[in-house]
Amino acid sequence: MGNSLGGRKKKTAKIMNLDGTAFRLKPPVSAGELLLKHPGQSVLDAAEVKTYGVRARPLAAGDPLLPGRLYFLVHLPRVPVENNPRRAFSGNLRVSAKDRLESLVLSRRAVSDLALHHGPAAAAAVAEASPTGGMRLRVRLPKADVARLVEESRDSGEAARKIMELAASIGSPPAPSTPVSARMEKRTRFMQMPAEIIA
């Protein structure tokens, strides 16, 4: 009557490690049973990684691993939950499962590194009105710089002047390297046509 193509249904769930090695498990098996053999790891569904990227959530211990599906077995760092706005990404859409998995782990690691380590202290200034009628200025500067300036100065007046110069240089934006011209002349894209065209 006609040709018929039949595909056999896959009967195993494929689990891929970060290094690209993969193994298969026969259902019924849950994510918790897999995690008993691999402590400290998390199981991610490949469809969720493809859809949600970094925001993909690991499977719970009771979730079954379905046959014919691909899962990733990764070590995810613990990241505190923050309400940061989403960053849009439109890059290479056709990437392999291994590349997606590596980018997922690297981006999570980068986020945890940013959350755990703080940069050097920046200068901060707060102005307050003092009870005597004057103005009081509180400045936060790196301790090492202030100590170096105090040691290099001859007296307290010179130290105060150097500290104020340091605070002004950190707090103010850098001066432009080229002088700013007074006004730029506007140029039109097309030449003005005369009122009459002489042929």
What local confidence, expressed as pLDDT, does residue 121 receive? 47
Residue 181 amino acid letter? S
**Do 54 and 112 fall within a single domain?**
yes
CATH of the domain at 102: 3.10.20
Residue 167 included in any domain: yes
Q: Is residue 189 part of a domain?
A: no
Is 71:65 a contact under the CB 8 Å cutoff? yes
pLDDT tens digits along 73-94: 998 877 666 666 666 666 666 6
Structural domain contains residue 26? yes
Residue 54: which domain range? 13-80+93-116
Q: Which helix (H) or strand (E) segment is 42 a member of?
A: strand 42-45
Q: Is the Cβ–Cβ distance between 72 and 44 less than 8 Å?
A: yes
Please tell me the predicted confidence (pLDDT) of residue 180: 52
Same domain, 98 and 33: yes
pLDDT on residue 164: 83
Q: Give the separation between CA 139 and CA 125, rounded to whole angstroms.
A: 4
- Residue 195 domain-assigned? no
Q: Which residues of the chain have pLDDT under 50?
A: 116-121
| 21 and 53 belong to one structural domain | yes
Contacts for 109-117: CB closer than 8 Å, 24+ residues apart: 109/77, 111/54, 111/79, 112/77, 112/78, 112/79, 115/79, 115/80, 115/82
Domain total for the chain?
Answer: 2
Predicted pLDDT at 89: 64
